[in-house]
């Protein structure tokens, strides 16, 4: 999962891009990058780390220009090497930089085609660089000295025909403007907004609407599946549908976990959707255990807080904050290796013993992925004096890997894969475990936008909406994503980069 942003303004956009990336920091803490252009030259800064650490005053002073794009990353395809921080750049044609959120399911095939037929070299293992070269090649084929809007849209149409998977993209064509487009299924989010100034309108494109509102841009709308938005350097806005058969199938996990609650995605308030998740889960508890003995509901900070508050209200029991979060620890399911995740849970959360002592506690989390975090938290609640520890997941059981841009583990490392609810309950050490039903989760999101025909719920039901994910693909993915493979790649990366660190003066 990543965050992307692009701005065409009337003055330097470096500070706005920086501020937008800090708002989108929850979408990736591995690396950050900004690129701008002025006088037909581009200016790039990117590196591993948080936004606040990657950009210093000396970097910001060099990022001049009224047009630019930015990116925050956590690694899905590829590695966590700084060489794979985005935006990526190719010099031909025109000089194009690109930031991408998502995952291409035919990236390996495309990488071979790029070398054999497009005669282009890909320098990393990132599918984002593959996507950049596909777009650049299709634009170059048109042979125009000066690209016009129809040329840009023609290139996007060709990209849709070649590329499969999930992608929300912002690309900057040096000297001409920025183009943003979304995959024909609309799996990954993207929207655009407008801000009026004395010199004319400014436009901003971002992964989430909260980045627009934080900077004073008025949300215009979401980019439609398959649609492209092209904003020229003078502020002229052009849009066109570039896919032959677009369908809106947004990723439902955005509403469960990734998106900020103050965002609106595809017409759906994330906050309202999470409130409804709490209502539906409370209804299920009333149905299964009408005489429940829950004394208090507690969220696992932070994403589950909205659902937990509504659950407590619907159940008619107390809501309490039982865990205090250290906000300087990253999201644990993204961290490589079980040992590191287990250690980070204790560093990340600290219980308030007075709230647990002698009580039957219902802990609420947004979802259960590996189960490592849940097991540690349940034990922490018992150590703090809880009489009984119940556990509720605002999402259904995660049984299948995500292939569209969320770096979930291989299927065998998902605690619910091939197991019943009772078996998971025993593994995490809870006295009772309750999951959200999938049909209830879908209705929670669908209520915000009844026009959506289908959500991508593949992590819950194994139904991959692009139709090109088979057992062979999932087996290859498992070989790449399992913890032992990740650990080996990280060790190789550290060995390869060690001599370089001695000369790094950035």
Residue 2 annotated to the active site: yes
366 assigned to a ligand binding site: yes
Q: How confident is the model at residue 358 (pLDDT cuts 50, 70, 90)?
A: very high
Give percent of the chain with pLDDT exceeding 70.
90
Q: 401: Cβ–Cβ under 8 A, 6 or more apart, which residues?
A: 408, 409, 410, 411, 414, 459, 474, 477, 478, 481
Is the pLDDT assigned to residue 103 strictly greater than 90?
yes
53 assigned to a ligand binding site: no
Indicate the angle between helix axes 127-140 and 107-116, nearest 10 degrees: 40
Tokens at residue 235, please? 């502020």
Note the pLDDT of residue 296.
98
31-38 and 67-73: which strand pairing? antiparallel
Mean pLDDT calculated for residue range 21-29 = 96
DSSP β-bridge partners for residue 221:
192
Note the pLDDT of residue 40.
87
Residue count of the chain:
506
Note the pLDDT of residue 186.
98
Note the pLDDT of residue 1.
81
Mean pLDDT calculated for residue range 55-76 = 93
Longest dimension (CA), the chain: 75
Give percent of the chain with pLDDT exceeding 90.
80
The pLDDT mean for the chain works out to: 91
DSSP β-bridge partners for residue 268:
265
Using the CB atoms, write b or e for 54-83: b if 16+ within 10 Å. bbeeebbeebbbbbbbbbbbbbbbbbbbbb
C-alpha closest to that of 469 among 265, 84, 185: 185
pTM of the complete model:
0.91
Residue with tokens 């913890």: 483
Q: 70: Cβ–Cβ under 8 A, 6 or more apart, which residues?
A: 4, 5, 6, 17, 18, 20, 21, 32, 33, 34, 35, 87, 99
In 117-263, alpha helices (H) = 127-140, 149-162, 209-214, 253
Q: Is 383 exposed, middle or buried (0-12, 13-18, 19+ CB in 10 A)?
A: exposed
Is the pLDDT assigned to residue 49 strictly greater than 70?
yes
Most confident of 121-130, 185-194, 328-337: 185-194
Note the pLDDT of residue 119.
81
Note the pLDDT of residue 329.
65
Q: 256: Cβ–Cβ under 8 A, 6 or more apart, which residues?
A: 274, 277, 303, 366, 367, 394, 395, 441
Q: 148: Cβ–Cβ under 8 A, 6 or more apart, which residues?
A: none
Contact in structure between 274 and 440 (CB atoms under 8 Å): no
For the chain, domains (ranges, CATH) are: 3-247 (3.60.20.10), 269-325+345-464+477-487 (3.40.50.2020)
Q: Which of 130-144, 166-180, 471-485 has the lowest mean pLDDT?
A: 471-485
pLDDT digits (tens, 9 = 90+) for 482-492: 655 555 545 55
The CA angle 143-148-150, to the nearest 5 degrees, is 95
**Coil/strand/helix, residue 458:** helix
Q: Which of 39-43, 179-183, 333-337, 369-373 has the lowest mean pLDDT?
A: 333-337
Note the pLDDT of residue 302.
87
pLDDT digits (tens, 9 = 90+) for 234-288: 999 999 999 999 999 999 999 999 999 999 999 999 999 999 999 999 999 999 9
Q: Is 450 exposed, middle or buried (0-12, 13-18, 19+ CB in 10 A)?
A: exposed
- Category of 455 on φ-ψ map: left (φ > 0), alpha (ψ -120 to 50) or beta: beta
Name the E strands within 245-394: 264-265, 268-269, 296-299, 318-319, 323-325, 349-351, 360-365, 388-393
Is the pLDDT assigned to residue 393 strictly greater than 70?
yes
Tokens at residue 378, please? 């349940």
303 assigned to a ligand binding site: yes
Q: How confident is the model at residue 387 (pLDDT cuts 50, 70, 90)?
A: very high
User: Which among 2, 191, 242, 457 is annotated as catalytic?
Assistant: 2
Mean pLDDT calculated for residue range 464-483 = 85
The CA angle 243-247-251, to the nearest 5 degrees, is 115
Alpha carbon distance 17, 3 (integer Å): 12
Question: What are residue 388's phi and psi, to 5 degrees?
Answer: -130, 145
């Amino acid at each position: 999962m990543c965050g992307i942003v692009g701005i065409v303004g009337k003055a330097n956009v470096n500070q706005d891009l920086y501020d937008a990336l800090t708002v989108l920091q929850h979408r990736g803490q591995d690396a950050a990058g900004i690129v701008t252009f002025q006088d037909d030259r581009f200016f790039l800064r990117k590196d591993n780390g948080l936004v606040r650490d990657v950009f210093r005053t000396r970097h910001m002073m060099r990022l001049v220009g009224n047009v630019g794009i930015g990116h925050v990353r956590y690694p899905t395809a590829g590695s966590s090497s700084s060489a794979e921080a985005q935006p990526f750049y190719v010099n031909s044609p025109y000089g194009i930089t690109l930031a991408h959120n998502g995952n291409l399911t035919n990236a390996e095939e495309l990488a071979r085609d790029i070398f054999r037929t497009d005669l282009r070299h890909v320098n990393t293992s990132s599918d984002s660089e593959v996507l950049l070269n596909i777009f650049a090649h299709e634009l170059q084929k048109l042979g125009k000295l000066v690209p016009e809007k129809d040329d840009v849209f023609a290139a996007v149409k060709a990209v849709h025909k070649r590329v499969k998977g999930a992608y929300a993209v912002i690309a900057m064509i040096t000297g001409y403007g920025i183009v943003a487009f979304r995959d024909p299924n609309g799996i990954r989010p993207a929207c655009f907004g407008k801000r009026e100034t004395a010199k004319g309108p400014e436009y901003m494109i971002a992964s989430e609407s909260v980045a627009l509102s934080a900077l004073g841009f008025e949300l215009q709308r979401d980019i439609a599946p398959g649609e492209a938005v092209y904003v020229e350097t003078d502020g002229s806005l052009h849009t066109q549908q570039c896919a032959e058969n677009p369908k809106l199938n947004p990723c439902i996990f955005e509403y469960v976990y990734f998106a900020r609650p103050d965002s609106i995605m595809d017409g759906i308030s994330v906050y309202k959707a999470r409130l409804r998740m709490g209502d539906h889960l409370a209804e299920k508890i009333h149905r299964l255990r009408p005489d429940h003995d829950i004394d208090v509901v507690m969220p696992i900070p932070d994403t589950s807080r909205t659902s937990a508050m509504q659950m407590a209200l619907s159940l008619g029991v107390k809501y309490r904050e039982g865990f205090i979060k250290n906000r300087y620890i990253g999201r644990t399911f993204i961290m490589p290796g079980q040992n590191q995740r287990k250690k980070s849970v204790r560093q990340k959360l600290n219980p308030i013993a007075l709230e647990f002592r002698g009580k039957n506690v219902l802990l609420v989390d947004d979802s259960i992925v590996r189960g490592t975090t849940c097991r540690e938290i349940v034990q922490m609640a018992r150590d703090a004096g809880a009489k009984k520890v119940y556990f509720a997941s605002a999402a259904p059981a995660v049984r299948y890997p995500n292939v569209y841009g969320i770096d979930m583990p291989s299927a065998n490392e998902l605690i619910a894969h091939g197991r019943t609810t009772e078996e998971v309950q025993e593994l995490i050490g809870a006295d009772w475990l309750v999951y959200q039903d999938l049909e209830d989760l879908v209705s929670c999101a669908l209520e915000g936008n009844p026009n959506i025909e289908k959500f991508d719920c593949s992590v819950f039901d194994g139904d991959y909406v692009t139709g090109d994910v088979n057992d062979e693909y999932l087996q290859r993915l498992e070989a790449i994503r399992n913890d032992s493979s990740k650990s080996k790649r990280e060790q190789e990366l550290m060995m390869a980069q060690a001599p370089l660190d001695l000369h790094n003066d950035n």
